[in-house]
Amino acid sequence: MADPLAPREKRPLPYSLFAVALFLAFALVQSANPKLLPDFFIYRLGAELGLHGQSPYNLTAIRERVAEQYPDPDAGPDSFINNCGYFLPPMAVLVYAPFAMLPWPAAKVAWAIASAIAALGITRIPDLFQKNRPTPSPIWNGLVPFLLVVNFLALAILQVGQSTLVVVGCVAFGQWCFERNLSTLGTLLWSVAFIKPHVALPLVPLAWYLGGWKRAAGLLGVVAALNLAGAAVIGSPLVLRDYVDFLAAGHKAVAFNLAERNPEITSWNRLLFVATGTLIEQAAPITLASYLIFLAIVLGRCALAGDRPPAAWAMAAAATAAAWCPQVLAYEAYSLVLVVPWLRELFATRSPCRQVLGIVVVLLLIVELLPYPAASAIGITFHRPLAVALLALAILFRPLPPKN
């Protein structure tokens, strides 16, 4: 019998390729601009220092190199130069090592190509968990790939050189591998997300839910091994302790990361601050507690449903947790594109209630993608955390779609 996925994968592929081609063209143009990709510069710099046996957690050294690459004679306390640092774990040295081995101009082109490959994986997200679904309409096939990768947030992420696009692409490709029993490759791809462990944590219970405890244990084992290997490359396994100490002390030294000052933060504490004036700047214990509370609500929702909820719903819950629980900026909310498989299931049902819910979810995703200047122009300064909060409520407390 033919693979039921095959016909659906062939028809929309040209649309995906066209969307990715536009994305790549934009990426290559941006890579030629010397003023862009500052975050990628820092991540590559951290890998370069690590490969030379130097600690990337030297804040002064990082900022000096950033000032050389992005000079700003009028740099003040709130400037990028004085509010940057390398906050990734040792494993990120290995992830960014291929780019650190290239000259800076070539590294930017290579990053553009890597981002475009990830974008191709992102355009396939709607097909995850969809073996038994009918062939979507031509409008869906033609429009969705462009909405996923040619939107304001995706292009803004590309311009600053953040990792979210590549990470989400790895998650999408990884799930594609899991669905085809390529578990080892899938685990390696999912492990890339742990260059930002506070954002990637929901992948652990999701891996358990989708593939059992062995998949979750394998993921944690690979992440641990990569961090030990990265620390060894830098100089010693004790670098892991340096990373933990630096993260606790250095993260709050960056004004962009403070819930009090940055309206682009999507987490619950930013919304709490806007609504009540109560300020809670998250540290690791608060982030872990936030995840545990969210997980408890998810488990309670599953228990109330009286049945095992669909895999697409579980991924949607994990993606929402990653944008709601840790203190992260708007570019991490791009992971919400992983809600699309569940959204597709909502629209595939005959239930008017679920279809209306699908429309609400679409509207919330659009609000989340709305540029901050456009929102602030009409007096809205908290649209990102509010949209994530409402999306979490929609996922956790509304009717579940049928099982796959």
Residue type, 353: C
Question: In the chain, count of helices (H) and strands (E)?
Answer: 22, 0
At 3 the pLDDT is 44
Does residue 88 sit within a domain? yes
Residue 276 lies in a domain: yes
| Per-residue model confidence (pLDDT) at position 387 | 87
C-alpha angle 382-384-387 in degrees, rounded to nearest 5: 105
Same domain as 273, residue 224: no
114: in domain: yes
Contact 205, 216 (CB under 8 A): yes
What is the rounded radius of gyration, in angstroms, for the C-alpha atoms of the chain? 21
Q: Which domain holds residue 177?
A: 18-253
pLDDT of residue 287: 92
Contact between residue 284 and residue 197 where contact means Cβ atoms under 8 Å apart: no
Residue 402: inside a domain: yes
Co-location of 161 and 218 in the same domain = yes
Whether 278 and 172 map to the same domain: the answer is no
264 lies in the same domain as 226:
no
Instruction: Among 235, 253, 271, identify where a domain stops.
Output: 253
As a residue count, the chain comes to: 404
Q: Which of 233, 253, 273 is the last residue of a domain?
A: 253
CA angle 316, 117, 56 (to 5 degrees): 85
Of 253, 272, 295, which one is at a domain's C-terminal end?
A: 253
Other Cβ atoms less than 10 A from the Cβ of 327: the count is 25
Tell me: do 88 and 201 sit in the same domain. Answer: yes
Q: Residues 269, 245: one domain?
A: no
Residue 30 CA: distances (Å) to CA of 9, 26, 41: 30, 6, 14
User: What's the pLDDT at 39?
Assistant: 94
Residue 75 is predicted with a pLDDT of 67
- Torsional class of 281: left (φ above 0), alpha (ψ -120 to 50), beta (otherwise): beta
Assess whether 37 and 173 both reside in one domain. Answer: yes
Q: Are 115 and 158 in contact (CB under 8 A)?
A: yes
The dihedral built from the CA positions of residue 134, 139, 142 and 146, taken in this order, carries a sign that is: negative
In a domain, 10, yes or no: no
Mean pLDDT for back-to-back runs of 10 residues, the chain (404 residues): 42 79 94 92 95 89 90 74 87 96 96 96 90 63 85 92 96 95 96 96 96 96 96 88 77 71 86 88 90 92 79 93 92 92 82 76 75 65 84 78 50
pLDDT tens for 14-50 read 888 999 999 999 999 999 998 999 999 999 999 999 9
Q: For position 12, what pLDDT does the model report?
A: 55
Q: How far apart are CA 43 and CA 160, in angstroms?
A: 11
One domain, residues 28 and 160: yes
Place of tokens 């819910």: 357
Overall domain count for the chain: 2
Interval 182-226: pLDDT, tens: 999 999 999 999 999 999 999 999 999 999 999 999 999 999 999
161 and 310 fall within a common domain: no
Q: Is residue 205 located within the same domain as residue 278?
A: no
Rounded CA-CA distance 252/234 in Å is 24
Instruction: Judge whether 262 lies within some domain.
Output: yes
- Do 293 and 373 share a structural domain? yes
**Is residue 5 domain-resident?**
no
Q: Classify residue 12: in a domain, yes or no.
A: no
Q: Let me know whether 49 and 72 are in one domain.
A: yes
